[in-house]
Amino acid sequence: MKALMSVGALVGVIGLLLLVGMIFDVVPANTVRLVEGYMPMQMLTELTFFVAGFAGLSYMLSSMGMPLPRFWQGVGFWAFILLYLKYRVYPPIPFSVRAMYGTVSLVAVFMWVSSNEEDWKKFKQPILNVLDAQSGGNKMLRYAYLFLLPILIGGFTYNAMKPKSEEPIELRTVHPAPPASTKVHGKTYVLQTSQNPYRVNPEGKYDQEFTNANIVEQGMGRLMKPNANPWDEKNTGYLKYVREGGEIFFQNCHFCHGDNLNGRGLHAFAFNPIPANFTDPGTIAQLQETFIFWRVSKGGIGLPNEGFPWASVMPPWEQHLTVDEIWKVILFEYWHTGYYPRTWD
Amino acid sequence: MMNSSSRKAGVVAATAFGMILASGTFGIPLIGAEDMPEGFKKGELAPEPAAEMIEAGKRVYFTKCVWCHGVDGAGDGPGADRLWPRPRNFNQGTFKIRHTASGELPLFDARKPVPGQNDLFETVTHGLPGSAMPSWEGILTEEQRLQVLSFVTTQLVKDRKFTDKQSESQTILQLGDIKPIAATEESLKKGSELIVEKKCVECHGAEGRGDGNAFNLKDDWGFAIQPADWHKCWNFRGSRQDPYNVRNIFRTFSTGVNGTPMPSFADNTTVEERWHIANWVNFLCERDTDGKPLPIDPLTDKPKINFVVPSDPVEGEIPTDMENEAWKKAAKRYVAMGGQITHKPRNFVNRIDDIWVRSLYNDKVIVYLLEWDDRTKSVAEGKLPWAPTQVNLDIKEQDPKTGEEGSIASNQNKYRVYNDAIAIETPVKWKELPAPIKPRYLFGTNEQFPVDIVKWEADGSVRAFKGTGWDKDFEERDTYEENLKILKGEWINGRWYVMIQRPLGNKKDQDYDEDTFFEVGQYVPTVFFAWDGHNGDAGRKMAVSAFYYTFLNPPTPKETYIYPVVIAFGVVLLEGWVLTRRANKKKGKTL
């Protein structure tokens, strides 16, 4: 038990030192890199490590005869959460959201310290001691608070009132409602009934099961199935069209959506918000192929009013591509990300 | 799983870093043997990767890499012809970023991805900034990256063999053992002199903006190539996602860049001289006002963007001298630029990838100071092929697949030259746009909500346009120009400095339906356009920014000083109340 707790304590101390080092720029902020795509998991893991570390730390301290008072545990943990959210999480969370998380964790901390009468008393004790000021030290502290608190709060107010130019926050609909049908190159496509003409089996029949069996494998790296290489010369049907779609993608789309379809293309850094990440399970994996067909054909300009604030420079690709090319690109996008398009049933 | 491994990688990197520091402190700089340049040491060729690694790598290659690098690794995949620089042609075994001596193959060992000892692995891991090669970390596992490199080095490098002891040798820069020299004033001064003495400036330009020899440089395949702009270290191919690290510059300078005119300086500089030069080049990279490195966005590996361009108030005339205190104090914003690839003619390769903006205003006008690096000063030689206002042109653009001869890379330096130019687009009647205020489209929403475009060109002209929709021609506004003033328009050593003045707008002198009215304390959406005349940029073949906001900083209002005092006083009262209450409670009384 003790050994386990010491390990926990060690993890906690190292973690804290790293975090503090990063905050004060002593340790480069990328010492433990946040890897895109795994960030939420990584953060949960990190937090688990921290909590385990703190538990170990507090156990070690109390077994060494210098237990940390409940009051400081509570305050310390809350401060840790706030610092972690501000300095570790990337991309940065806006203040309003951080304030919300801060409040929730404050409530949680209160629940923790007041879980029984005994604990709550212990938690309150240092506060009451200062208020009563029975000893010299506490008296000093009381006077210090008396002066510092107004100055501090006044300072915060001043800071808050100083004219600032922070970027206005924008929220937008990620998947606006599509129209019932869309007209591309003079032909009307009903979104509910249209099908990707290239999603076909070797017999040339529309076959979602067959094509889904030939997409890249989910899992690290998202690699193609060993026997389903679109660059195989002998291909007919689906995989041949995937390759043709890929060629179009890498001549038109990768500039923004990236070589790995993750929205990190050559020009992506210049745009706000950055282009859609197709490997994210929240984008094309959630949508029907016809929805993509509509979005690709009509671009940011074709977004309905709910697409507000229309922060998309995606061109209406019907300007540059034929209907066949658009369908092939869509085929490629699903192949390359390893997602199945959603179906209507 | 990934978490623990990346954590481990971090720890390993940290330990390695510590070791470098430690060894740097105690180590003795390596003096090369007779035939060895200083700082280098003979190394062993790595063994051939296992057959199953090569086979597994083929699968990675044909999923991820083939699209640009091509079936035979000749750098001729479907994406190649619209890229500049073109994707690497692996066949010759020519690789840019290495720890090995000039002309040698890079370090690659399929068994160990040790930092500093596996050049190709690091290239795949960190990507090549400034080109289309992304960082594959977090996408491919370490194993997969080693596999694909096993395939590339054995199957696609055709003219050379990584394991052939007869023809290949490895002379390795001992970067981990060489102690850097601190970037003191003295070192920087020596560096700034050495870049002249060693003729760096002949290609990289007097200020290091890559403007020294912009037209005649070619790579091994005959494609035009540009010297690096030292002020944008985040675009250095060898920056390894750590652009302000001077070691990267030292390495590139010591080993040269194979396949390009950048030679290795290992033979004619001492290690000490190389550190001075590396320090100086690193020092030139764009920094904030305190001289600290710019924060880099880990998602894009470019400087972090603040989308608000603040404009400071000035009493009286706005200074035209950039050295003036007001300009020096004004916040300088990095504005990222991408190619305009929405409308024909699309700009797949934009040579201007950022501009720096500052702004000041007084009671009548607002002035933007725009600075951007452009290796070539371009003033139009002939007439434009289409009017600068036109859109939806039926014109031929770069074919997607033409082979090397017709690719964008081979067309560099052959374009007809037009004017360098810059433009600022702001919406008219932005207050009436539904919140958050932003016009619907880049070139104006419709007749009711047009945009106001002010454009300066390198021939000294300034013009105003009105945009009424993404697919509508711009309309030239011939009456507004008299309101505009160019306070500065200078090209010095590879950088444009342009100051554009326009009225803030008021209902008496300007037309509310046609001109943007700027208001203090409000966010006015602003877009920047830039043209590089030597890139054939004209009309809508240009570089564009995202929507930024111009924000006229209000002078600090009186309330800012009053309220905090009132609130502090309130807190004192509250404290008194709490204390009395507590005291009373202790005495057994209730309030």
Q: Which of A319-333, B202-216, B382-396 has the weakest average pLDDT?
A: B382-396
- Check if B8 contacts A (Cβ < 8 Å): no
CB contact under 8 A, B546 and A222: no
Mutation target for B interface from A18, A27, A31, A35: give the one with most B CBs within 10 A: A35
B35 SS3 class: coil
Same domain, A102 and A135: no
Answer yes or no: are the C-beta atoms of B149 and B120 closer than 8 Å.
Answer: yes
Residue A17 structure tokens: 């030192």
Same domain, A90 and A148: no
Mean pLDDT of B389-416: 83
Mutation target for B interface from A147, A159, A166, A250: give the one with most B CBs within 10 A: A250
Same domain, A306 and A198: yes
Confidence of residue B29 (pLDDT cuts 50, 70, 90): very low
CB contact under 8 A, B545 and A157: no
- Check if B16 contacts A (Cβ < 8 Å): no
Q: Which of A325, A141, A140 is nearest to A245 (CA)?
A: A325
pLDDT confidence of residue A306: 66
Mean pLDDT of A283-300: 92
pLDDT > 70: what percent of chain B? 93
- Check if A311 contacts B (Cβ < 8 Å): yes
Residue A1 structure tokens: 């038990």
Cα B165–chain centre separation: 40
A170 within some domain: no
Hey, what amino acid is at A255? F
Same domain, A185 and A317: yes
CB contact under 8 A, A157 and B563: yes
Sole residue written with tokens 């608190």: A149
Mean pLDDT of A191-200: 94
Greater confidence (A29 vs A236) lies with A236
A256 within some domain: yes
Burial environment of residue B11 by CB neighbours within 10 A (0 to 12, 13 to 18, 19 or more): middle
A166 within some domain: no
pLDDT tens figures, A69-106: 888 888 999 999 998 888 888 777 878 888 999 999 99
Same domain, A330 and A236: yes
pLDDT tens figures, B341-357: 888 889 999 999 999 99
Average pLDDT, chain B: 89
Euclidean distance between CA atoms A58 and A64, whole angstroms: 10
Hey, what amino acid is at B277? I
pLDDT greater than 70 at residue B471: yes
Euclidean distance between CA atoms B523 and B553, whole angstroms: 10
pLDDT greater than 80 at residue B20: no
pLDDT confidence of residue B354: 96
Distance between B299 CA and the closest CA of chain A, angstroms = 8
Hey, what amino acid is at A331? L
Q: Which residues of A touch B301 (CB under 8 A)?
A: 269
CB contact under 8 A, B66 and A165: no
Greater confidence (B275 vs B508) lies with B275
Same domain, A31 and A81: yes
CB contact under 8 A, B401 and A266: no
Residue A42 structure tokens: 């990584």
Cα B118 to Cα A20, B112, B519, distances in angstroms: 32, 8, 56
pLDDT tens figures, A234-252: 998 899 999 999 999 999 9
Confidence of residue B406 (pLDDT cuts 50, 70, 90): confident
Task: State the first-to-last Cα distance of chain B, in angstroms, to the nearest integer.
Answer: 60
Euclidean distance between CA atoms B334 and B315, whole angstroms: 26
- What phi, psi does A291 have (nearest 5°)? -60, -45
- Residue B539 falls in which region: left (phi positive, over 0), alpha (psi -120 to 50) or beta: left
- Check if B522 contacts A (Cβ < 8 Å): no
Q: Which residues of A touch B126 (CB under 8 A)?
A: none
B312 SS3 class: strand
Same domain, A224 and A318: yes
Which 149-208 residues of chain A touch chain B by CB within 8 A? 149-151, 153-155, 157-158, 161-163, 165-170
CB contact under 8 A, B82 and A30: no
CB contact under 8 A, A313 and B544: yes
A345 within some domain: no
CB contact under 8 A, B338 and A300: no
Same domain, A189 and A302: yes
Structural domain of residue A315, as residue ranges?
181-337
- Check if B491 contacts A (Cβ < 8 Å): no
pLDDT greater than 60 at residue B436: no
Same domain, A249 and A332: yes
pLDDT greater than 90 at residue A181: yes
pLDDT greater than 80 at residue B388: no
pLDDT greater than 90 at residue B108: yes
Mean pLDDT of B190-195: 96
Sole residue written with tokens 């300078």: B253
Answer yes or no: are the C-beta atoms of B108 and B100 closer than 8 Å.
Answer: no
A172 within some domain: no
pLDDT confidence of residue B11: 44
pLDDT tens figures, B43-73: 999 999 999 999 999 999 999 999 999 999 9
A174 within some domain: no
Same domain, A126 and A151: yes
Where is the domain boundary, A98, A113, A128?
A113
Residue B280 structure tokens: 């100086």
Same domain, A188 and A286: yes
A53 within some domain: yes
Q: Which of B286-290, B405-409, B585-589 has the weakest average pLDDT?
A: B585-589
Answer yes or no: are the C-beta atoms of B349 and B83 closer than 8 Å.
Answer: yes
| Max Cα–Cα distance, chain A, nearest Å | 92
- In chain A, the number of structural domains is 3
Hey, what amino acid is at B371? E
Same domain, A212 and A260: yes
Sign of CA dihedral A262, B77, B241, B111: positive
pLDDT confidence of residue B233: 96
Answer yes or no: are the C-beta atoms of A207 and A342 closer than 8 Å.
Answer: no
A169 within some domain: no
Sign of CA dihedral A120, A123, A126, A128: negative
Which 231-260 residues of chain B touch chain A by CB within 8 A? 241-242
pLDDT tens figures, B140-183: 999 999 999 999 999 999 999 999 999 999 999 999 999 999 99
